[in-house]
Structure 1
């Protein structure tokens, strides 16, 4: 029995972990690297294993950094079975197709520039195409239900456990057997935080011999939620009073829906400025919001009651969905009183960069960050106080008011990560992944009654 790490090892993105047991090769996640140009180039490099040799892929959830390289995996020969929850399967389809579309769009733009230059030997090829993403969908097979074991293959049993992170997200508990030797391995995936709107809290984990654990916020706690909502509404009110727009770089899955939920509450309680118009400018977030409505099995009791009583918590009169590119472009004509939620959350792609270009130089406007910003991303440069940023090759002054509100994060904070690990009850080995090195080292120093290892990319370990 062996485990190796091929992404999110000493880094936050690109989750991809390989288990070899009982003559089978099993992947947990296959995500896209996100961040700087150098990190993005990692996506085109070899996986570190033969995609055609992979028998199964178990997917924890549908965020791009966990499912975004599946089309490339299939393009390079994978013909195994992908097993995940029904909600994750639906969301992953949207995410992968959106990623392919953005990839193709970005390559077309770069190739137009290359064609204007002389002596260009070759044009750029997209990492994968929409056709590749559609082809990969053929390999989604059995759908997992929470807490119901699946016999993946002889010697491999998997149980998906609610991770409370986004719709359909799961921790994956593996019961492995090879030549009479048994071993249990628990993958945290990305863990959610307690007491949030819409989704249930993460389930209590079972005991496991080996744990592979995320550490995104391993070095710090989150702000409290209620003060964060108040700060969000206060930022909106102040910006509207100055005559500006509010740009919120938004992750399309979970974060967009959670913000809509709180904006609905703010509208209902008259805590938002009169005349404020809210625009969800993300086709993927719009599709995801519709998928949310189809999966009450993931809701907490309060959200279930809202839907059961005929109230849609993701809708209110001043909310507008910007489906088409023309709808998005029309927002350029609005100079005040607009709250624009647009992807991507780290500003690495999507429509938000256009809105930043039009608004970030205006001192009456605001940009509100409500999620994690990885090193090397445009979001991180703005959060860290850059005076100017490059957007579509143009250097733009940062004059807008910048807010960073940490209480909305869908990731467990340090205290919740420690509590989750403690509930496992003294695993023999804990591998730390999906975090920046500094955060991992802080978190490693807090763990007790376990051997802690920081997973190294490409390195193989005996289970």
Structure 2
């Protein structure tokens, strides 16, 4: 029994871990590397294993940094089975088609650029819409929470609610090989407790080995009530100065959660009924439709609203903008609007054009409600840059900048520690976090219990088995 690490190792993106047991090779996630630096070469590198030899992929959730290289895996020879929850399967289809479209668009742009300035061959798309479509042929059984799936002799997998985004899961593997037994638990990305829409993460089972995320392993989140109050105050202050509010929004979960609080703010009379809200993200629009089709993932309050025939994501002045022309027209509105647009880290998408039109305005506000990796445009603005270069221009940062981390879809330090305590793990691998954060969280783990903590490097291999 072995585990090897092929992504999100001392980094926050590209989650990809390989289990070898009983003659089978099982991949947990196959994510894309993301961030400010040029990662096209890293995403195109060898996986560190032969794609054709992978028997199963167990997908924790549909964020691009966990599923984004699945089409590449298929392109390079994977012919096994991808197992995920029903909601993850639906969201992954949306995410991967969008990613393929972006890959093809970038390849066309680079081809034109190379034609003008170089005799070298332009880089190819990492994968195409055809590759993404082929990938869906390999999605097989749909996992139900806390129902074991026997995938091979000596190997059973069980998915547990992770509370991160719709359909997200922790993956628990019960492994047996030649008289050896090991229980391995992958946290995936863990959500924060007490959030709207989704259920809290389920208490995890006991495990011998845990592989866990550490995104916010060095800090506590602000309370959700305080975060909502700050969002409302930011909107009031901005409107009073005649400006617009731009919220860079992750399409999956964050967009829906912000819509929930905007609706609730209007219904409670805290926000003006005349407030115009623009959901300017085709992916977020489609994701919201998928949310409506998966009530099995809701918490009690959300489920109750849907049973009453109420849509928790709808406001009377909500404008859905799929077309690019409608998106461009938003920037003719000088004040009184809240604009939700992707991407959340401002690495691409329509939000960059809204930032171009608003970042230099003193009466505008930019409200960040999620994690921003090092090197991304969002992180540069959050860290206090006075000007930023994007879309071919240097843009002054004069707008009011808010960072409200209480909306994070990731568990904070204490929630991570509490989750881990349930596992009674003897060995813990830390992944999916910035390296300095991992070291801080490792100290907390060691102080909280008896577990060996390992921070693996990319391509490192470890023996898993114990004699039981």
| TM-score clears 0.5 | yes
Which secondary structure does the structure 2 equivalent of 1:251 belong to? coil
User: CA shift at 1:271, angstroms?
Assistant: 1.5
Which secondary structure does the structure 2 equivalent of 1:446 belong to? helix
User: CA shift at 1:112, angstroms?
Assistant: 2.8
**Would you say the 8 A contact 2:165–2:409 is kept in 1?**
yes
Q: Deviations over 1:379-411 (max 9, x none)?
A: 111111111111122211111111100100010
User: CA shift at 1:283, angstroms?
Assistant: 0.8
Matched ranges for 1:36-75 at <5 A: 36-75=36-75
Matched ranges for 1:61-140 at <5 A: 61-117=61-117, 119-140=118-139
Match of 2:435 in 1: 437
User: CA shift at 1:40, angstroms?
Assistant: 4.3
Distance 1:56 1:9 in 2: 21
The answer to whether the aligner puts 1:23 opposite 2:30 as a matched pair is no
**Would you say the 8 A contact 1:34–1:40 is kept in 2?**
no
**Would you say the 8 A contact 1:31–1:64 is kept in 2?**
yes
Distance 2:407 2:77 in 1: 39
Match of 2:235 in 1: 236
Match of 1:174 in 2: 173
The answer to whether the aligner puts 1:408 opposite 2:410 as a matched pair is no
Distance 2:353 2:127 in 1: 24
Q: Deviations over 1:139-190 (max 9, x none)?
A: 1000000000000111210000001111100000100011121110000000
**Would you say the 8 A contact 1:102–1:349 is kept in 2?**
no
Stretch of structure 1 that moved more, 320-329 or 48-57: 320-329
Q: Deviations over 1:123-149 (max 9, x none)?
A: 231111111111111110000000000
Closer, same or farther: CA 142–299 of 1 in aligned 2, 3 Å:
same
Distance 1:38 1:288 in 2: 28
Any unmatched runs of 5+ in structure 2?
none
Q: Deviations over 1:349-395 (max 9, x none)?
A: 11111111111111111111000000111111111111111112221
Tell me the C-alpha RMSD between the 2 structures: 1.1
**Would you say the 8 A contact 2:103–2:125 is kept in 1?**
yes
Q: Deviations over 1:418-450 (max 9, x none)?
A: 00011112x110000001111111111111211
User: CA shift at 1:275, angstroms?
Assistant: 2.8
User: CA shift at 1:109, angstroms?
Assistant: 2.7
Which secondary structure does the structure 1 equivalent of 2:340 belong to? strand
Matched ranges for 1:204-283 at <5 A: 204-283=203-282
User: CA shift at 1:45, angstroms?
Assistant: 1.2
Distance 1:97 1:46 in 2: 22
**Would you say the 8 A contact 1:163–1:192 is kept in 2?**
yes
Match of 2:456 in 1: 455
Which secondary structure does the structure 2 equivalent of 1:418 belong to? helix
User: CA shift at 1:274, angstroms?
Assistant: 4.7
Distance 2:40 2:247 in 1: 23
Distance 1:102 1:39 in 2: 14
Q: Deviations over 1:231-288 (max 9, x none)?
A: 0011111111111111111000010110011111011112123532101111111111
Distance 1:392 1:46 in 2: 31
Distance 1:373 1:317 in 2: 31
Q: TM-score, normalised by structure 1?
A: 0.98
Distance 1:378 1:263 in 2: 25
Match of 2:5 in 1: 5
Matched ranges for 1:266-305 at <5 A: 266-305=265-304
Distance 1:111 1:350 in 2: 20
Q: TM-score, normalised by structure 2?
A: 0.97
